[in-house]
Amino acid sequence: MTYLLEARGLTRKFGGVVALDNLDLAVVPNEIIGLIGPNGSGKTTFFNVVTGIYGAHGGSITFDGADITRASSPAVYHAGISRTFQRSRLSLPLSIFDNIMIGNHKRLNQGLWFNLIRRGEFKREFRPTMARRARSSKYSSRSSPSGCSSLSADCR
């Protein structure tokens, strides 16, 4: 089986504390998984190691077939992995659409500021792309709790 993200034997230590101890995890394309556990169990450490914020002390990480174990955060981002931090109010005054576009700026044609300032024009250009992705997703029949599964008026 081909994995989109795979961690094998992933280990990260902080002094005498072993935060990740030979973790094995695999995610196939189009799979949605949850990583749960009590405080201090290594969930955030895992994401920090995968995204290059912390280095692994052992094991390997591959993403889309490429070894990213020793990659820097910018290199991991350019490979296609990004993360958010636990600061949900960072862009509170912005709409749902604008918050999504901030996180998706790598894939924008004109650049973040152009697309935020010229929102109407950008939405008209971006809407067909979103519709194609929704049709191709195996989860497209599920609607989001907020009703924003498309770029409807509710998502502005």
Residues 6 or more apart whose Cβ sits within 8 Å of residue 13: 19, 57
> What integer pLDDT is reported at residue 124 of this predicted model?
74
**In this predicted model, which residue has the larger pLDDT, 154 or 127?**
127
Question: How far apart, in whole angstroms, are the C-alpha atoms of residue 127 and residue 134?
Answer: 11
CATH classification code of 5-79: 3.40.50.300
DSSP string computed for 82-109: ----S-TTTTTTS-HHHHHHHHTGGG-S
> What integer pLDDT is reported at residue 95 of this predicted model?
74
What interhelical angle do 96-103 and 119-136 show, nearest 10? 70
pLDDT digits (tens, 9 = 90+) for 88-120: 565 667 777 776 666 665 656 666 666 667 667
Q: Where are the beta strands (DSSP E) in 30-97?
A: 58-63, 66-67
Question: Would you kindly state where each structural domain of the chain is located, as residue ranges?
Answer: 5-79, 96-155
Question: How far apart, in whole angstroms, are the C-alpha atoms of residue 150 and residue 131?
Answer: 7
| Residue position matching structure tokens 């599964």 | 149
Cα angle vertex 129, ends 126, 132, to 5°?
150
Question: How far apart, in whole angstroms, are the C-alpha atoms of residue 135 and residue 130?
Answer: 9
> What integer pLDDT is reported at residue 25 of this predicted model?
95
Residues 6 or more apart whose Cβ sits within 8 Å of residue 147: 154
> Is residue 27 classed exposed, middle or buried when 0-12, 13-18 and 19+ CB atoms within 10 A define those classes?
middle
Radius of gyration of the chain (CA): 18
pTM: 0.61
